[in-house]
Copies of this chain bind each other. A is one copy, B any other.
Amino acid sequence: MKPTIYDIAKAAGVSTATVSKVLNNSGRISEKTKIKIREIMEDLRYQPNVLASAMKGKGTFQIALLIPDVENPVYAQYLKHIENRGQEQGFSVVMCCTDDNPDKEARHISLMRNKQVDGFIIASQFKNEELLKELLEDKVPIVLFAHEKQDILVDSVTVDDCFGGVIATEHLISLGHKRIGIVAEDTVSSHERIRGYKFALQKAELPYDEKFIQIGGTKMEDAEHAAGKLFSSANRATAIFGTNDLMAFGVMRAARKHQIAVPQELSIIGFDNTPMCSIVSPELTSVAMPVSDLGKKAMDLIIHKIEGNDDIKQRILLLPHLVVRDSTSAI
């Protein structure tokens, strides 16, 4: 059997209270007994049972991470860096894949509460606002990751999508492009990125033209199709901003089919800087989120809340940066 504090106490000829105190180094214990107890713990290979201590209110040191789909490299990155920081801080992360399905979200949340995780990092859309509010009311530590709820008082760590749209567009503009198309999926983030695009155009005093904007499905095929439309119009765009890498890959594929040379005849830029960017040819220029910092911030913030600092709510917004590769060039 695994030894318990009782075994240690008995072996050391002290009470369990004393053992517990050296374990948490709380209370006042003489150096001597402290050392002795530590030795005995080593000898017996004592490992405290986190469950028991959790039951006394110390927490499980686990947080639940809700994401739609790990297979999506963007989310895999989130997970990686969140887990990584958790590891450093002694917190484990329990994976909850939601498939963007509100029922699954609800089930996971409920299950995780029963399992007494200390908090939640939510990186899925989380349509169920009722549930979210309920959690917030129950003072469950929550951090929204990579998308905020504009209308709810909740902590969040996100990337500044609008700014990302700005730098992507400015990069293209600086290369001399004036007719810049967009291929986007219909999500909040995408719309923010498009907002940045408009902003940059305006700043450069370039006209904004609806016909350059294609908003559609989330799959590469959707993007491919959308790009096709963009190509067929007269006076077509010389550059296209895909609001995520997958969109951009769809555009690349369409260009190939239409025999349009990238980047000579068409510049393409993506968003997310997934590992695939350097695998395709030409390598894809993309806007990179500071995923590692995002993950770190999110974990730190949730721990902060777990430790009882339910002070002020905060929205942390990190800035993305540009990674120039071979898919963009001067006109």
The answer to the question of A48 belonging to the interface, with a C-beta cut-off of 8 Å to chain B, is yes
With beta carbons under 8 angstroms apart, the residue of B70, B104, B110, B278 that contacts A76 is B70
Which among A47, A50, A69, A113 has the greatest number of chain B C-beta atoms within 10 A?
A50
- The contact sample of 5 A-B pairs, CB cut-off 8 A, is A47-B110, A52-B55, A55-B55, A73-B73, A92-B96
Which A residues from 53 to 75 make CB contacts under 8 A with B?
54-55, 60-62, 65, 69-71, 73
* Structural contact, B80 and A116, CB atoms closer than 8 A: no
The answer to the question of A95 belonging to the interface, with a C-beta cut-off of 8 Å to chain B, is yes
The answer to the question of A197 belonging to the interface, with a C-beta cut-off of 8 Å to chain B, is no
Q: Which residues of B contact A80 (CB under 8 A)?
A: 69-71, 97
One complex includes copies of this chain to the number of 2
Q: Which residues of B contact A29 (CB under 8 A)?
A: none
- The CA of A97 and the CA of B249, in the complex, are separated in Å by 29
Of all chain B residues, the one with the shortest Cβ separation from A252 is: B281
Q: How large is the interface on A (under 10, 10 to 19, 20 to 34, 35 or more residues)?
A: 35 or more
Which among A95, A114, A253 has the greatest number of chain B C-beta atoms within 10 A?
A95
The answer to the question of A33 belonging to the interface, with a C-beta cut-off of 8 Å to chain B, is no
With beta carbons under 8 angstroms apart, the residue of B48, B92, B280 that contacts A280 is B280
* Structural contact, A71 and B275, CB atoms closer than 8 A: yes
Q: Which residues of B contact A113 (CB under 8 A)?
A: 47
- The CA of A60 and the CA of B55, in the complex, are separated in Å by 13
Binary B-proximity of A286-305 (CB < 8 A = 1, otherwise 0): 00000000000000000000
In the A-B complex, list the 8 residue pairs whose CB atoms are closest, starting with the nearest. Answer: A76-B76, A50-B115, A70-B80, A50-B114, A70-B76, A249-B279, A47-B114, A92-B94
The answer to the question of A172 belonging to the interface, with a C-beta cut-off of 8 Å to chain B, is no
* Structural contact, B71 and A76, CB atoms closer than 8 A: yes
* Structural contact, B114 and A49, CB atoms closer than 8 A: yes
Chain B nearest CB: distance from A296 CB in Å?
15
- The CA of A94 and the CA of B249, in the complex, are separated in Å by 33
Which A residues from 15 to 39 make CB contacts under 8 A with B?
none
* Structural contact, A62 and B114, CB atoms closer than 8 A: no
Q: Which residues of B contact A313 (CB under 8 A)?
A: none
* Structural contact, A61 and B115, CB atoms closer than 8 A: yes
Chain B nearest CB: distance from A70 CB in Å?
5
The verdict on A48 contacting B281 (CB below 8 Å), with A62-B94, A93-B95, A97-B87 known, is no
Chain B nearest CB: distance from A128 CB in Å?
16
* Structural contact, B94 and A49, CB atoms closer than 8 A: no
